[in-house]
Amino acid sequence: MVHSRGPEYALLSGDRPKDDATGHAFRTAPVFTGDALDALGPAVLPQRAVYGRVVSQRADGFPSSPVSPVLYINTNAPFSGLVCGLQGSGKSHSTSVLLESCLMSDPRLGTLPEPLSALVFHFDTAAGGGAVQPCEAAYLSMLDPQNGGDAVAPTVTVLVLPSNIRAMRRVYAKLPAVRVEPLHFSPEDISGERLLAMMRVEENGQMPLYMEAVMTILRSMEDSFDYTKFREELGAQSFSGTQKSMLKLRLSLLDSCLKDGNASNRVSTRFKKGHLTIIDLSSPFMDGSSACGFFDLILGLFVEADVKASGKVYLSDAQSGASSRLTDSLLTIIRQYRHLGTRVLVSTQEPTVVPAKLLALCSFIVAHRFQSPEWLRALTRHVAVPERNLDALFAKVRACCSALFLFLPSSVLVDELGGR
């Protein structure tokens, strides 16, 4: 049968779909080897950063050792990653290198024409015992005396609860290049939905009695929420002493961040190219669930911010107490990261606390040394590792102290015949 080439053919592309899809896969691969860069060229992989040296690689049809040992992170493409491992195994160093790759322009690191804006969430669960440590990412403000050269360290600002500013400045005192400032919001940063999330309404099986009045006020302000007006109407309600105490407990931390907050010092003004902003909510008076409420609010502001550079979100030392609301927000961003231009990185000692949905969406998983075979099994449910190889792989992960294991659902390697 002969088909007539009518006007409807004008909108059909002449490109071969397979070639077009392959080219897109090359350009957006989160990780690639030096061999791949040599084969594809800088036009396909224009923005990259050295991540480390390839000791060995395991992929069907590819050699165990590449010709070029260099491993690159594709900073030109959005990605999501998980870094896990025992304390002291190198987890913090791995995450810092990834942050450095997106913030610093130095020819020894690779090519980075446009530095990103980076946001780090940190909550030290040891704060209740008075043993608070600085967020490891803050050390990016200090260049290595021997290898720093002419590189310029990123600007690092740590935002903390206003009531805890003095204590946290002492915590970061050994890092003179780090600015520790109070965390501020402006009233327009707070929406009714965000307020409910911070009050953890969605995580309680039964709504407190006073929340009926709160919900009534919020419904009346659905189209034009105003936090100041909300507080005024809330103050006019006839609550019992216990109810007032509960409301004060839930809103006092937010009120302290809104006090003295304005358009010039609100948190979103900190999001700039080449700037690292750390939200450190470590405090004896902050619980993990409340911290997640703050993180979720700030995450939304970060995504909405008018920054002329893509962003990187890093959740430091994720714990099992992470709220379902924050997890859902991260999942939404990861699913849309190509549209939003974001890179999401989660760091944790124990991978089993990371929700399965988040693991399934990771572009790569970095595993340092750990002792539990269950941790490895949790990871390998989401990456292609044959069951028969698990015991041998666990023995290597358990014994390895100077290297990391990188699990990649997609990457660019070069086989022995020069194919990709």
Listing DSSP states for 165-205 in one string gives HHHHHHHTTT-TT-EEEE----GGG--HHHHHHHTTGGG-S
From the list 376, 384, 377, the residue with the least C-alpha distance to 408 is: 384
pLDDT at 367: 84
CA 221/CA 190 separation, integer angstroms? 13
128-142, 151-165, 298-312: segment of lowest average pLDDT: 298-312
Q: Which residues pair with 30 in a beta bridge?
A: none
pLDDT at 416: 46
CA 22/CA 213 separation, integer angstroms? 56
pLDDT at 318: 57
Q: Which residues pair with 182 in a beta bridge?
A: 160
pLDDT band at 415 (very low <50, low <70, confident <90, very high): very low
Burial zone of 243 (CB within 10 Å; 0-12 exposed, 13-18 middle, 19+ buried): middle
pLDDT tens digits, 216-250: 898 888 888 999 899 999 888 888 888 888 788 77
CA 63/CA 59 separation, integer angstroms? 8
Structure-token pair, residue 412: 């660019």
pLDDT band at 317 (very low <50, low <70, confident <90, very high): low
Dihedral of alpha carbons 383, 388, 389, 392, sign: positive
Q: Which residues contact 387 (CB under 8 A, 6 or more apart)?
A: none
* CB 235, CB 214: distance < 8 Å: no
Amino acid letter for position 92: S
* CB 137, CB 314: distance < 8 Å: yes
Residue 204 pLDDT exceeds 60: no
24-28, 156-160, 363-367, 411-415: segment of lowest average pLDDT: 411-415
CA 155/CA 142 separation, integer angstroms? 10
37-46, 110-119, 122-131, 349-358: segment of lowest average pLDDT: 122-131
Residue 341 pLDDT exceeds 80: yes
Q: In the CATH scheme, what is the homologous superfamily, with its name and number, of domain 25-184+261-407?
A: P-loop containing nucleotide triphosphate hydrolases (3.40.50.300)
Phi and psi at residue 208, to the nearest 5°: -60, 155
Phi and psi at residue 248, to the nearest 5°: -60, -40
Domain ranges of the chain: 25-184+261-407, 189-258
Phi and psi at residue 156, to the nearest 5°: -120, 125
Q: How many CB atoms lie within 10 A of CB 357?
A: 13
CA 103/CA 117 separation, integer angstroms? 7
pLDDT tens digits, 241-295: 888 887 887 789 899 999 999 989 999 999 999 999 999 999 888 888 888 889 9
